[in-house]
Structure 1
Amino acid sequence: MKIFSDIKALYQPIQPLIRQAADDVAYRELPPAAPLVPFVHCYWELKTTRALDAPFNYRVVADGCIDIFFELHQPQENFVMGFCNQYTEFLLEHTFHYIGIRFLPTMFPQLFSVNAAELSNRFESLHAVVPTVAKFIASDIHPGLTMEQIKDRLDIHLSRQAAKTVFNADGRLYDAIRIILQHEGTLSTEKALDTGISPRQLRRLFEFYIGDTPKTFCKVVRFQNSLRAQPSGYYDQSHFIKDFRNFYGATPRQALNG
């Protein structure tokens, strides 16, 4: 599993802290059980701590991942959100309690044999994509559980899925991903990703396992690394500011200053 563990070691995607209604909305992440570390970045929880005075506009920035999510009081209505090449906004009600599973790049398609390109830039009913997981969430997750208990149940279910999965550890794909992550997305994709496969074939692999092209994945990785580093040097690069606004919904300065 080392070929998959490298992704976890090299890539730590983040979602920015919530500023709007920050005192009344809580967000946290929990790590998966050890066997799932190469596949699941985190479990996450987004909930109101009291009823809000107005609906809550929740912005999700591009992070290169695929997520499963559901409202804890309606677990039978569960969804999967694919790779997004721009930020996404959800208008949430005055009270909510969402639970999610964030899979590292390529891992949702690996675990469930799903073409990531078919989910890109949208969310879909999980029942239509992976009915076994949808049924498990609907039957085994309920509001009486704590987040830690939910995590334990999801750990068990996903570990069983991982144990019976035959993974496609195509070195050409994962060498290309490793190069992108090691360079933090700052490279010329067509020339730098020479891993023994034609650019056209590599694009097909990326579209199936990531959900978009190597070029777009590079941009998302660079954007994510900028969120961590908050480098002022990017602020004067017009092409980067354009990408940042597309992935975040604001300029780097606006994002940093809140």
Structure 2
Amino acid sequence: MGGEIIGAIRSQYNPVQPSILLEKDNEVSYLEFMPSGLLQPYIYCYWQLVSQKPLEQPFIYRVVADACMDIYFDLYNPAESYVMGFCKQYTEFALPKSFHYFGVRFLPSAFPHLFSINGKELSNRYEKLEFVIPKLARYIAGYFEPEQPVEKMVSLLDSFFIDWIKVHSPETDHRFMESVLKILKNDGSLQLESDLKTGLSPRQLRRLFHYYIGDSPKTFSQIIRFQSLLKAKPSSQLLKSEKLFFDAGYYDQSHFIKAFKTFYGSTPSQIL
């Protein structure tokens, strides 16, 4: 059970990180780049967040819940790189007035599969990469610098991860993957106890989700449900008039608004 079965996640899930609202003079830009085809079963994208000029004040960067794990580093100081675990709520970072971040967004379960690391130990926090994958931290510190073209950075990361999977062949439990895919195919709206009968007991399933995802099947489903709404981009008026929050599995409007604010940091009416 290697990249093929893990890669089935990509065909069912495209995590959304809302576009940065650019200032009139385009002070900050955010772009995503595709990894090598060999890595697409594991890596959703590489991404770049950069200030186009020194800002007048620190920049607040918001990351919404997406069930993914990320590696990131500032090219002005590549010796300090970090890994961000599964988060069950939005996260905000106060960035300096000048920055050039580059990162790797892993599809759900891919990071623990690739590096044999318990995802639960990194949940809802970030950690220095040197304490988690020291070889990769040294590679980033040694090969990356501020003025490199994006193509070069993508090539460097592709080379590292391709070499890694040649040596470390990821294995997984097909029953766990079947559960993940069922949640994705149903946009997170399903009865976990009755719909996830894949030969695993509830206790076994929770243990596997904690290891490979970073949290419980319930929390994972809630985030997938939230992400499916972001991807659908319904208007605030449509949510009210057609009661889409019922169709998405929320008990009522207040339940929906509370969950949305937890995962995004703002209410649906402010965003949608």
TM-score by length of 2: 0.91
Question: Please, which moves more after superposition, 62-71 or 14-23?
Answer: 14-23
Give the Cα–Cα distance (whole angstroms) in 2 for the partners of residues 225 and 148 of structure 1: 31
Aligned to 1:192: 195
Select 2:59's aligned residue among 56, 59, 80.
Answer: 56
Select 1:96's aligned residue among 94, 99, 104.
Answer: 99
Give the Cα–Cα distance (whole angstroms) in 2 for the partners of residues 211 and 116 of structure 1: 4
Give the Cα–Cα distance (whole angstroms) in 2 for the partners of residues 190 and 92 of structure 1: 42
Contact 2:22–2:29 (CA<8 Å) still a contact in 1? no
Aligned to 2:5: 3
Aligned to 2:86: 83
Contact 2:69–2:86 (CA<8 Å) still a contact in 1? yes
Select 2:207's aligned residue among 204, 207, 211.
Answer: 204
Aligned to 1:181: 184
Question: Is 1:109 matched up with 2:120?
Answer: no
Secondary structure in structure 2 of the residue aligned to 1:190: helix
Secondary structure in structure 2 of the residue aligned to 1:111: helix
Aligned residues between the structures: 256
Letter in 2 for 1:15: Q
Letter in 1 for 2:60: N
Secondary structure in structure 2 of the residue aligned to 1:67: strand
Question: Please, which moves more after superposition, 185-194 or 88-97?
Answer: 185-194
Aligned to 1:41: 44
Select 1:240's aligned residue among 256, 262, 271.
Answer: 256
Task: Please give the root-mean-square deviation of Cα atoms over the aligned residues, in Å.
Answer: 1.3
Give the Cα–Cα distance (whole angstroms) in 2 for the partners of residues 234 and 228 of structure 1: 14
Give the Cα–Cα distance (whole angstroms) in 2 for the partners of residues 95 and 107 of structure 1: 31
Contact 1:58–1:91 (CA<8 Å) still a contact in 2? yes
How far is the alpha carbon of 1:9 from its aligned partner?
A: 0.4
Secondary structure in structure 2 of the residue aligned to 1:95: coil
Give the Cα–Cα distance (whole angstroms) in 2 for the partners of residues 67 and 14 of structure 1: 14
1:64-75 aligned within 5 A: 64-75=67-78
How far is the alpha carbon of 1:20 from its aligned partner?
A: 5.8
TM-score by length of 1: 0.96
Give the Cα–Cα distance (whole angstroms) in 1 for the partners of residues 165 and 256 of structure 2: 37
Letter in 2 for 1:244: F
Aligned to 1:14: 16
Aligned to 1:228: 231
Identity %: 48
Letter in 1 for 2:7: S
5+ residue gaps, structure 1: none
Contact 1:14–1:224 (CA<8 Å) still a contact in 2? yes
How far is the alpha carbon of 1:149 from its aligned partner?
A: 0.7
How far is the alpha carbon of 1:54 from its aligned partner?
A: 1.1
Question: Is 1:249 matched up with 2:249?
Answer: no
How far is the alpha carbon of 1:220 from its aligned partner?
A: 0.5
Secondary structure in structure 1 of the residue aligned to 2:49: strand
